[in-house]
Structure 1
Amino acid sequence: MVLRVGYVREHFSTPLLQFQDADQNATFTLVECPSGTGQLISRLTKDEIDVAIALTDPLISGIANGSTAYKLCGSYVSTPLNWAVITGKDTKFNDISDLKGTTIGISRLGSGSQTMAYVMALKQGWPTDDLKFQINNDIRGLIDSVNDGSTSAFMWEWFTTKPFVDAGEARFIGSVPTPWPSWLIAAHPTRASPETLRAFMTSLSGYVRAFNSAANRDGPNVEVIKAKFGYPEEDIKAWLKTVAYPEDCLSIPSEVISHTLDVLEKAGVVKAPEGGFNVANFIAKDIVNLT
């Protein structure tokens, strides 16, 4: 079976792209999902992909809210994601506090851009049950919306949006780091065998460890990211100082799931059942090592 692996083509995906470049037996194919985790979850649901490398919070909230389209089967990035808060080039908004009561742009319902808006509201002390959203699909739609006035701001990964800010198309007015490790791996519960999934992630772990090594961080990683994404060298070096990857993609610390659920419940994104959440219900038990 050739696995269909959904991903977002960003600098975080560099080890995955290196794996694909070396995959001479074509054991998997990559399916780009530029709209982010909401699109990844949608494609898992519609049988368009088998595996998704996606943001922690929407994956966990999706299962907590009843999705049976996937289970968590591994880890991908072990450090938080720094979500920039971005507004239009000429808007009146200069601080996160200015956004209270306004319409926030998101890529899709259930996306990281939406769940992090709830976390931002929680940190600001705003009510989370009256947040207003407008769906704008992708980074281009989001930038257009803050400049045409249909939304006040949107949230997206800092370094991905920095080129648009540097070009004068938008402005940063703050940032909200995730209170959890930022990327996990999920898979449909029946489309691929446990053996196939474990083999894929065991191999991916090798590329992740190599990318995460001190030797490659000092030079080779910078050149690879520059070639694949065209980011300025100073931005790549700054990002590499903030990011870390797991030693074993097949392992998920149980506290990652439980802590994320705690924060999402406080933010009003999920509601715990009577007796609380059972972390074991979130994972593919025959694949992942819950630590």
Structure 2
Amino acid sequence: MSESTPRKLRVGWHREHFLSPLLQFHAKDGGETFELVECPGGTGEMQVKLKNGEIDLCIALTDALIAGLANGQTSYKLVGRYIASPLRWAIITGKESKYNSVDDLKGTTFGISRLGSGSQVMASVLSLQQGWKEDEQPKFKINGQFKPLRDSVNSGETSCFLWEWFTTKPYVDSGEVRFIGSVYTPWPCWHIAASPSFPTDLLSTFLTSLEPYVTHFNSPQAREKEDVEFVSGYFGHQPQDVVEWLSTVRWEEGLKVVKKEVVLETLSVLEKAGVVKPQEGGWDMATFVDTNVAQLA
């Protein structure tokens, strides 16, 4: 690549319907300005790839991104917001497992994709919300990607795992796994993070270019038919499930913003759940947000 050639952005993503506007943008862009790097392990894998210099930006789970930064990761910062609504995490067990309720899961081994991933963070939040005692806290087994997690609950190696509801529903419909509950994030569920070493002007241009696709996908007109057809066609979800999902989700209007209140409230819950340790003297927003790209509101 010559010095005059603009550096192509490498965007980490996970195969979830929330990323539909990004996929539409990529189809239009044709790979000219950015390339997609799929991360089947979810947010935890994206964090590893950011650290290893394999991607430059990702759209990922708010809680795991903030927890990583609070726990000392320096390979990325928040550069924007993405989803305004909470995420519904399904609590999933094996088709023939002995676990039939959330209460049955106390003190058992939960499958997680990676340490620090959303699947681990939300297991700790679930424990907090349920009021489980110290000896009832979940233990964790790292299984990596979605398929090994499903295999693990069916083999009995783990009691359950947490994953996004509608991503998992086809496997429940087919009888491979079962739902025994759900838990919602107490925060807007997706944010955008990027490497501080990537040129900020190119990051800003990318986010500005993505925004019209998000706005259109979020519109009432697109939700009536176009969004349903895209998600159903690309991801294979049943149209009625897509309609139900769309009724629960709202994208942010204005991506290049990070709200201080959201960061602090998320940190407060993560502290109570034991995912991060309280910071003496309070948290410095410079740890979390790249204000060369995002407005701190």
> Which TM-score band applies after superposition, normalised by the shorter structure?
over 0.9
Match of 2:140 among 106, 109, 133: 133
Question: Separation in 2 of the partners of 1:205 and 1:289?
Answer: 15
Q: Secondary structure at the match of 1:61?
A: helix
Match of 1:172 among 171, 174, 179: 179
The amino acid of 2:195's aligned partner reads H
Q: Secondary structure at the match of 1:73?
A: strand
Question: Separation in 2 of the partners of 1:126 and 1:276?
Answer: 27
In the other structure, the counterpart of 2:167 is 160
In the other structure, the counterpart of 1:222 is 228
The amino acid of 1:249's aligned partner reads L
In the other structure, the counterpart of 1:31 is 37
Q: CA deviation at 1:25?
A: 6.5
Question: Separation in 1 of the partners of 2:263 and 2:84?
Answer: 13
Q: Percent identity?
A: 55
Query: Alpha carbons of 1:128 and 1:257: their partners in 2 closer, same or farther (altered >3 Å)?
Result: farther
RMSD, aligned α-carbons? 1.1
Contact 1:128 1:267 in 2 (8 A): no
In the other structure, the counterpart of 1:46 is 52
Structure 1 outlier segments of 4+, above 4 Å? none
In the other structure, the counterpart of 1:122 is 128
Q: Secondary structure at the match of 2:178?
A: strand
In the other structure, the counterpart of 1:185 is 192
| Residue 217 (structure 2) pairs with residue 238 (structure 1) | no
In the other structure, the counterpart of 1:8 is 14
Q: CA deviation at 1:24?
A: 4.3
Match of 1:151 among 144, 155, 158: 158
Contact 1:118 1:128 in 2 (8 A): no
Gaps of 5+ in 2: 1-6
The amino acid of 1:179's aligned partner reads P
Gaps of 5+ in 1: none
1:105-116 residue pairs with structure 2 within 5 A?
105-116=111-122
Q: CA deviation at 1:9?
A: 1.3
Q: CA deviation at 1:280?
A: 3.4
Match of 2:77 among 66, 71, 75: 71
The amino acid of 2:24's aligned partner reads Q
Q: CA deviation at 1:127?
A: 3.9
In the other structure, the counterpart of 2:217 is 211
Report the TM-score, using the length of structure 1 for normalisation: 0.98
Question: Separation in 2 of the partners of 1:139 and 1:101?
Answer: 22
The amino acid of 1:287's aligned partner reads V
Q: Secondary structure at the match of 1:164?
A: helix
